[in-house]
Chain A
Amino acid sequence: MWNMQKNTRYKHSGIQNILMDKTELLKLEITALKIRRNILRLIKAGEAGHVGGALSSVEIVTALYFKLLNIDPANPKWPQRDRFVLSAGHKCLVLYAALAERGFFDESVLDTYGALDSPVPGHPNMHKLPGIETNTGALGHGLSIAGGMALGLRLDKSPARVYVLMGDGELAEGSNWEAASAASMHKLDNMLVFIDRNHLQISGKTTDVMSYEPLDERWRSFGWSVRVIDGHDFNAIINNASEIPFEKGKPSLIIADTIKSKGFGFAEGKVNYHYWKSNPEEMEKAEQDLDNIEEQLKEKMERSGDE
């Protein structure tokens, strides 16, 4: 279940052009596991949360915070930093988990999730926690804010880039398409958007609820340069993200196919784990699944040591 599939479905798989050696890849996989453990830690504290979309985007967020973003946890407001906008704000558990792991704040903050005045609310608040760039949560806001950041950075001739993570259910908000048109019109090639296409939203399959397929063609028709990848494949994420702009003068978009609730076997690909109200039995299963991943990674480590 867990091992990275060498996927040939995707034109931009990242296999052809390996930027990372095996050790680095393994390190990222270990980090992704820690981030999944942090997500579970948050759920343990708050007893419930938007776990499905947080887990489906773990590899994307791990790649961003541990490979792609030019950031300094000791100086979170550094003007030349790359920006990360979490448009689908309900995926915030993965952001808190990654920021803690990257050292933006002490991990014990995660244990306050769900408590009165916690700095890690159910949707992110930039005034409460270092490293949070935007107050998202209402869907369809992030892309236009990110566009404004990209415009401002370009005006300052800054080399910094703006990265955005959107959900696929979120795309039904019309404001996204205003933002997408404007990013293309203003030639914002200093921004990269990931769509975490986990194919599910609260009421069912995204294509049954309100289909925006074919997604790649739709975005291309809005003037974006689009690639489609396996969103759990670190090589594909990093190699493609390292090639932006995909076309000069166009904003770049990666449609990342993912599995909702990836990593928690009992919940993978199931619609009713969009928001998970945990129970002791499932908590134990989740722990077990993460332990299994750890075992697999240990074996992988030993094998690579033997080579």
Chain B
Amino acid sequence: MNEMLDPRKTFGEAVIEAAKKNPDIVVLSADSGSGSGLKDFPSLFPGRHFEFGIMEQGIMGYASGLATTGKIPVFAAIAPFVTARPFEMFRNDLGYMNQNVKVVGRCASLTYNQLGATHHSIDDVAIIRTIPGVTIINPGDPVTIKKGVNAMIEHTGPCYMKIGSPKMPVLYPEDIDFRLGKGIIVKDGRDVALIGTGTVLSKAFIAARLLEEAGISVRLIDIHTIKPLDRELILSTASDIGRIVTVEEHFITGGLGSTIAELCSQEYPVKMKMIGIGDQYASNGPYEELLGKYGLQPEQIKETVIKFLNTK
């Protein structure tokens, strides 16, 4: 049984550790500090924490301005309110101005399960990846959240990281090789490539095991950096295996599957199946049941893969 850790607490601890080493890190809050695991930041780093209240559009600009003076602003709040709501500020003030700002959408994807479609963010990857120069990180376990925070701080340029809310299993050892823009081959296989990202990566892990038990050899890949995409790994997988299934807690429109399809359809066309949420507002309910409604539980992923492999 894997250890279960709180992603927001893990994120907050990683930012605090990084801030101890790097005096340029400042934190901006939209009444969102404690909910982002950063409750202790103001007392640990007086003068480096700025509260703005619930004004995410304005904060994007303030973050941009702070970055012009060499600061590394970290702005974490509820995912749709740092992506969809201030999209133009993200695009112009951070992207177009190429500012070294780290935006973190927490309680992302469907993890604000009960709060409904206003609070779900299953479009954030689709919209943010249209912004040139923005790095998009979607870690699937606590170890890669921590490593993702460090990599994001070391990288110069605008970043968007998304993390969930409920406790999530530790999938990787502490010494896992994590590099921005480089996918992780979790295990190799021949029959199908199963590519997961973010909050449902653990479901893909279990699905891969179930498929192996059913006699299907799976190459399991974690794409924690959706942009820039690991082109080399995706294209070699397309050519080695020829069948790709993507798993994401996001709209099929514009998400990880789309990103991979954009590449493969042009450079190495292969058969693909994308598991995610279709063209509808997601419903509300207990988190695990909600994932089940959209076919994101391991047994369902396994069945979808088998059906996909059986189609000509």
Contacts and interface: CB of A to CB of B under 8 A. Distances in A.
Nearest to A137: B92
B34 interface: no
Contacts of B58: 144, 147, 175, 178-179, 181-182
Given A133-B68, A141-B89, A175-B89, A148 B97 contact: no
Interface string A267-279: 0000000000000
Q: Max chain A CB contacts within 10 Å: which of B48, B55, B65, B88?
A: B65
Nearest to B51: A185
A145 B48 CA distance: 17
A152 B68 contact: yes
A178 B65 CA distance: 15
A121 to B, nearest CB: 12
Contact of A146 (B60, B63, B65, B67): B65
A244 B96 CA distance: 31
Interface residues of B, number: 30
Given A145-B61, A151-B50, A138 B71 contact: no
A241 interface: no
Contacts of B68: 83, 133, 145, 148-149, 152
Contact of A155 (B47, B57, B88): B47
B278 interface: no
- A-side interface size class: 20 to 34
14 contacts: A126-B97, A134-B64, A135-B97, A141-B89, A141-B92, A142-B61, A147-B62, A147-B65, A148-B63, A149-B65, A151-B50, A158-B69, A174-B57, A175-B58
Contact of A148 (B47, B53, B61, B92): B61
A283 interface: no
A153 interface: yes
B292 interface: no
Nearest to B89: A141
Contacts of A136: 92
A182 B67 CA distance: 17
A150 interface: yes
Given A144-B93, A148-B64, 14 more contacts: A135-B97, A136-B92, A141-B88, A141-B93, A144-B59, A145-B62, A145-B65, A147-B61, A148-B65, A151-B62, A151-B66, A152-B66, A152-B69, A182-B52
Contacts of B93: 135, 141, 144-145
Q: Top 7 nearest A-B pairs by Cβ distance?
A: A148-B65, A144-B61, A152-B69, A178-B58, A148-B62, A149-B65, A178-B55
A175 B61 CA distance: 10
B98 interface: yes
Given A135-B92, A135-B97, A149-B69, A182 B62 contact: yes
A120 interface: no
B70 interface: yes
A186 B71 CA distance: 17
A144 B66 CA distance: 10
B65 A141 contact: no
A133 B99 CA distance: 12
A186 B50 CA distance: 9
B50 A179 contact: no
Interface string B80-99: 00000000110011001110
A300 interface: no
Nearest to B101: A148
A15 B69 CA distance: 37
A178 B47 contact: no
Q: Max chain A CB contacts within 10 Å: which of B69, B89, B96?
A: B69
B69 A153 contact: yes
A142 B61 CA distance: 8
A137 B67 CA distance: 20
A152 B63 CA distance: 9
Contacts of A146: 65
A298 interface: no
A141 B65 CA distance: 11
Interface string A185-208: 110000000000000000000000
Contacts of A137: 92
A136 B22 CA distance: 30
A156 B66 CA distance: 11
A255 interface: no
A156 B50 contact: no
Nearest to A179: B58
Contacts of A179: 58, 61-62
A143 interface: yes
A134 to B, nearest CB: 7
Given A148-B67, A152-B70, A155-B71, A134 B97 contact: yes
Nearest to A160: B69
Contacts of A185: 52-53
Interface string A96-135: 0000000000000000000000000000001100000111
